[in-house]
Amino acid sequence: MADGVLHGVRVLDLSRLLPGPFCTQLLCDLGAEVIKVEDPVGGDYLRHTPPLADDGTSVLFHALNRGKQSVALDLKSADGQGAFLALCDNADVVVESFRPGVLDKLGLSPATLRTRNPRLVVCSISGYGQQGPLRLRAGHDVNYLARSGALSLMAVPTLLPVQVADLAGGAWPAAMQICAALVGRARTGEGCVIDVDMTAGVTGLIAMQLSRTLVGERIDGGRDLLVGGVPSYGVYATADGWLAVGALEPKFWSAFCGAIDRPDLIDRGFDNDDNDDDNPNDGTRAIITALLKTRTTSDWMERFAAVDCCVEAVLTPAQVLEGAAHVDVTIDDATTLPLATLGLGIAGHTPASTRAPRLGEHTDALCTTLATRAARSLNDG
C-alpha cells in the first residue's frame, strides 16, 4: 500500500459514534496512524449497533474504523490518565467529542496536553462549541439542523437521510482544520486547539440564504430555488420510482421538455404559482408530476439517455453499491466484508483495507513501547 500524504502523523481518537470517527477515518485514509482510545467497558458505542458482522462487531463500526488501532484505557483512573498522557507525548493530533468540560474534569484539558507537547493539535467536536451559552446542551443531528436554520428552508421540515450536521458541519470541517493546523505547525513548530461547532458549521452551509436575509429578502420554507421553488428543479415520482430533475439552465430545461414531448412548457421552468394553495391542476409542476407517473423509471431513463438535461434516477443504496468503489475488509480468518470508501482521491495513496480493531487490541503493544521509551529516556538522562 502506498504511503498517504499524512504518513507519519499519529492521531489519538477519543471520539465515539459518527462525527469524530468519520473525521479520523478520513485522516486514516490519507495515511495517518489512528489510535482509538476507548473505555475498557464496551468501547465505542457504535461497536454494538446492529447490524453485526460475523465477528460480532457492528458493520457500522467497521465502516468508520478501518485500519485503526485500539487502546483500552480507563481515563477516570490515574493509570489510564498517565498512559494517555504518555501517548500524547508522541502524538501529533488528538480528536475528542465529549461534552465541553469533560476533559478538564479528567485533568486532560487541551491546555494540559499542549503544555506537555506544544506541537500537539487538539480538535474538539461538539454540537454548539466549547464556549457559547449552549455548549452544555445535549443534541443530535436533527437538533443542530434545526438551530442552524437549515430545516426551515424546507416546505415541511423533516428528517434527512444523511447526518448533515455530523458530517458536513462536523467531521469534514474538523479534518480540514486538522490538516491546515499541521501545515501551520510545519511552519511555526506550534500546535493549536481547534473548536468545531457543528451547528455553526451547518449555518455556514446556508451562507447564500443568510446573505439574502441580511438584505431584507424573505425566504419562506419550500419556496427557495433549490428546495421546491421552481418546477425545473425537483424530485418527481414515476410509475415505480423517482426521478431527480435538475434542469435549471434554459438549455437543460428546453431539452427536458423536448424529451417528455411538452415543448409548450419551455418558457415555464421558473413558474412559481405551483406553491399557491389555490393553484389549479394545470400548473407546470402538476403537469410534469402527472406525466412522469405514466412511465417507469427505466423507461424514462432510456428516453433521457441521449438527452443532456440533468435528469437522474433516484438509486437505492443497493443499486449504488453495484458500481461503487469499495474495499474488501478481512474481519476474521474466514470472512471478508466489502465496505464503501469515503471518496478521497489523493494520487498515489491506496486507502487502508484492513479491518477495524478489536477493543483494546493494541493496548499491550503500545504501552510496552511507551514504557521502553520512558526507560531509555531515564537511562539517557
- Annotated active-site positions, please? 140, 166
3-class SS letters over 354-366: ECCCCCCCCHHHH
Q: How wide is the angle at C-alpha 298 spanned by C-alphas 297 and 299, nearest 5°? A: 90
Q: How far apart are CA 313 and CA 304, in angstroms?
A: 10
Classify residue 196 by burial, with Cβ atoms within 10 Å: 0-12, 13-18, 19+: buried
Q: How far apart are CA 165 and CA 197, in angstroms?
A: 10
Q: How far apart are CA 325 and CA 29, in angstroms?
A: 14
Residue 21's closest CA among 10, 9, 31, 11?
A: 11
Classify residue 156 by burial, with Cβ atoms within 10 Å: 0-12, 13-18, 19+: exposed
* Residue 260 and residue 243 in contact, taking contact as beta carbons nearer than 8 Å: no
Q: How far lies 333's CA from each of 66, 275, 329, 330, 336, in Å?
A: 16, 58, 11, 7, 9
Q: How far apart are CA 104 and CA 113, in angstroms?
A: 10
Find where cell 409542476 sits: 285
* Residue 75 and residue 108 in contact, taking contact as beta carbons nearer than 8 Å: yes
Find where cell 423507461 sits: 299
Q: How far apart are CA 85 and CA 369, in angstroms?
A: 14
Amino acid in the structure at residue 338: P
Q: How far apart are CA 134 and CA 145, in angstroms?
A: 15
Q: How wide is the angle at C-alpha 370 spanned by C-alphas 367 and 372, nearest 5°? A: 110
The secondary structure element, H or E, covering residue 129 is: none
Q: How far apart are CA 366 and CA 379, in angstroms?
A: 20
